A and B are shown apart, each in its own frame.
Chain A
Amino acid sequence: MKIRAIAGITFKEAKRDRVLYLLFFFAALGIVASRVLALLTVGDRIKIIKDVGLASISLFGVLMAILIGTGLVYKEIDKKTIFTLLAKPLHRAEFILGKFLGLVMTLFVMTLTMSIIFLAIVFAHTLRIEGALLVAVAYIFLELVLITAVAILFSSFSTPILSSLFALGFYLIGHLSWGLELILKKMAPGAGRTFVRALYTVLPDLENFNFKTEVVHGLAIPPAIYLSSFVYGLCYTVFILALAILIFRRRDFI
């Protein structure tokens, strides 16, 4: 009930953020422009539309999660609205979870709207509703959920600008860390390999949520991979949220 109240107010607040609509506008522009790009391409035009469309949803979704998420908790502290909230019988964990769920709700609405535009553009080209694309979108959304948790973690102890840089760093590392896996395969056993393995375990691997290529090219993916990616996303999000709650619980609000 309390978490729902906080989530509701967060959704209301995020909905008022102009940045959200600006990013949504560019995402929609990207999706629509994919048709223009396709016209300039020799070969399979629909693949370009799908590629660019999914990339737009992913990129602008991540920017929404970071730019809005990093301000959420900070703003409450900066504007001192948090004093009134925490003076109520509200656990600090409930506050963080409410903020998180409120933003996840906002991103869900945004992703859904972007997907509808995307599917409509694809439909205009193929005259088919391609439900398989939604699988890729669902995993993009799972990635957004994790990025939201990361943004809230940084927002619980840092300023929005620094938090945005940290969260962006997390996103970039997350998409490059698969390189470590390649290195691991080529390394001989020893201290160096153990170190790289530890590093790979700790660093996020956001490529786990990237099913764009497979979906666009209609490649078959074993269900076990879907499942492991889902569990990975869930566990990582819970871990980051737990860390955020731990830090937030120890904070003094001067």
Chain B
Amino acid sequence: MADAIRIQDLRKNFRLGFIPKTREILKGITFAVREGEIFGYLGPNGAGKTTTIKCLLGLIRPDAGTIEILGRSHLSPRSREPLGFLPENPYFYDYLTAREFLAFTADLFGLGRREKEDRIRRLLALVGLERAADLPLRKYSRGMLQRAGLAQALINDPKLVILDEPLGGMDPIGRKEIRDIIVRFKDEGKTVFFTSHILQDIEMICDRVAIIVGGRIVKEGALRDLVSERVLFTEATVAGLPPAAFAGLGESVSAQGDRVLLRIFDESKVDKVLDLVRGQKGRLLSLSPRTETLEDIFVETVTRT
């Protein structure tokens, strides 16, 4: 499968402050996003995620390295023709209505009148803004602005969609809707590159991820290869027994009333805990094994780096 984005040894320094001091933001980033996949780009705040995206879009000139978007150098404005972009905390002309704003973005792609009207209608329906389409954007809530932002990113029916924190500021229902839209992109053959702080969302929909820490890619690969099925520990909630009864069997995380939340790291001790509860006439309220999640990998990678 061809690459939708190919970034090779990307470097960027900023000189900031009154007496300029050089700060290395990107320290040689290399990764590729394959066509048709959903790619998650993770990293703590200030790791260089947004700087990478800005380099990709030509908003920032890299000091070194090459970027190719669907086989074209990112420096040519034509490379942005098959591309849709939703910025983090989208800012738009707030005196325009969503319909006017979409018409304006359609003009930047030179769409014909009929095609423009048709697409605006479909996109407003897709992001659920039909009823608010003729309100000025300054009256929109953050979640609604995010939807308007998503609609403008799709106005050119892009092959590659770049979303910077698309789920930020959304309520749980809104997040689910956006997640569904992203998955639908994949079904339509589009490539999605997105950053998010909400790791469960990334875990739910991404095919591959890259983790950036301190301007370097520290992990990259298919989600199923990164996240193993290994059981990390088993959590048990028990009632009717004091925490001291479990000494040596597991770590007591919290005790409330007569309930004890227990974390058992050694799988062989799970049976012993169950025997103890039965023997001492306690009650087992829940028992759940916790497998490794993307969050575990993320926290471990960031702390180690």
Q: Is A84 located at the chain interface by the 8 A CB criterion?
A: yes
The interface-forming segment of A8-16, A54-62, A138-146, A181-189 is A8-16
Contact string, B21-63, partner A, CB cutoff 8 A, digits 1/0?
0000000000000000000000000000000001001111100
Contact string, A222-254, partner B, CB cutoff 8 A, digits 1/0?
000000000000000000000000000010111
- The listed residue (B60, B90, B152) touching A253 by CB distance below 8 A is B60
| Complex alpha-carbon distance, A12 and B152, angstroms | 19
| Complex alpha-carbon distance, A225 and B205, angstroms | 70
Contact at B95–A13, with CB atoms within 8 Å?
yes
| Complex alpha-carbon distance, A41 and B90, angstroms | 59
The interface-forming segment of B2-10, B79-87, B123-131, B226-234 is B79-87
Give the residues from 106 to 123 in chain B that come closer than 8 angstroms, CB to CB, to chain A: 107-110
The interface-forming segment of A75-83, A149-157, A170-178 is A75-83
Task: Please name all residues of chain B whose beta carbon is closer than 8 Å to the beta carbon of A87 when the two chains form the complex.
Answer: 57, 59, 80, 83, 85, 87, 162
- The listed residue (A2, A81, A83, A253) touching B108 by CB distance below 8 A is A2
**Known pairs A13-B95, A79-B91, A254-B60; A88 contacts B80 (CB<8 A):** yes
Contact at A81–B80, with CB atoms within 8 Å?
no
Q: Is A89 located at the chain interface by the 8 A CB criterion?
A: yes
Task: Please name all residues of chain A whose beta carbon is closer than 8 Å to the beta carbon of B79 when the two chains form the complex.
Answer: 89
- The listed residue (B14, B80, B162) touching A254 by CB distance below 8 A is B14
Contact at A86–B107, with CB atoms within 8 Å?
no
Contact at A253–B105, with CB atoms within 8 Å?
no
Contact at B107–A5, with CB atoms within 8 Å?
yes
Q: Is A4 located at the chain interface by the 8 A CB criterion?
A: yes
**Known pairs A80-B87, A254-B14; A91 contacts B77 (CB<8 A):** yes
Contact at B109–A253, with CB atoms within 8 Å?
no
Min CB distance, B42 to chain A, in Å?
21
**Known pairs A9-B93, A80-B87; A86 contacts B108 (CB<8 A):** no
| Complex alpha-carbon distance, A88 and B14, angstroms | 24
| Complex alpha-carbon distance, A19 and B57, angstroms | 35
Q: Is A1 located at the chain interface by the 8 A CB criterion?
A: yes
Q: Nearest chain-A residue to B95 (Cβ)?
A: A16
Contact string, B211-226, partner A, CB cutoff 8 A, digits 1/0?
0000000000000000
**Known pairs A80-B87, A80-B91, A254-B14; A86 contacts B58 (CB<8 A):** yes
Contact at B91–A12, with CB atoms within 8 Å?
no
Min CB distance, A65 to chain B, in Å?
21
Task: Please name all residues of chain A whose beta carbon is closer than 8 Å to the beta carbon of B54 when the two chains form the complex.
Answer: 83, 253-254
Contact at B14–A86, with CB atoms within 8 Å?
no
Min CB distance, A49 to chain B, in Å?
38
- The listed residue (A4, A8, A88) touching B105 by CB distance below 8 A is A88
Contact at B59–A252, with CB atoms within 8 Å?
yes
- Taking beta carbons and an 8 Å cutoff, which residues of A are in contact with B? 1-2, 4-6, 8-9, 12-13, 16, 79-81, 83-91, 250, 252-254
Question: Could you name 24 residue pairs across A and B whose Cβ atoms are closer than 8 Å?
Answer: A2-B108, A5-B107, A8-B107, A12-B96, A13-B95, A16-B95, A79-B91, A80-B89, A80-B91, A83-B54, A83-B87, A84-B87, A84-B92, A84-B105, A85-B108, A86-B59, A87-B162, A88-B108, A88-B156, A90-B77, A91-B77, A250-B61, A252-B14, A254-B14
Q: A8-B104, A84-B149 are in contact. List 5 more A-B contacts (CB 8 A).
A: A13-B95, A80-B87, A86-B59, A87-B80, A88-B156
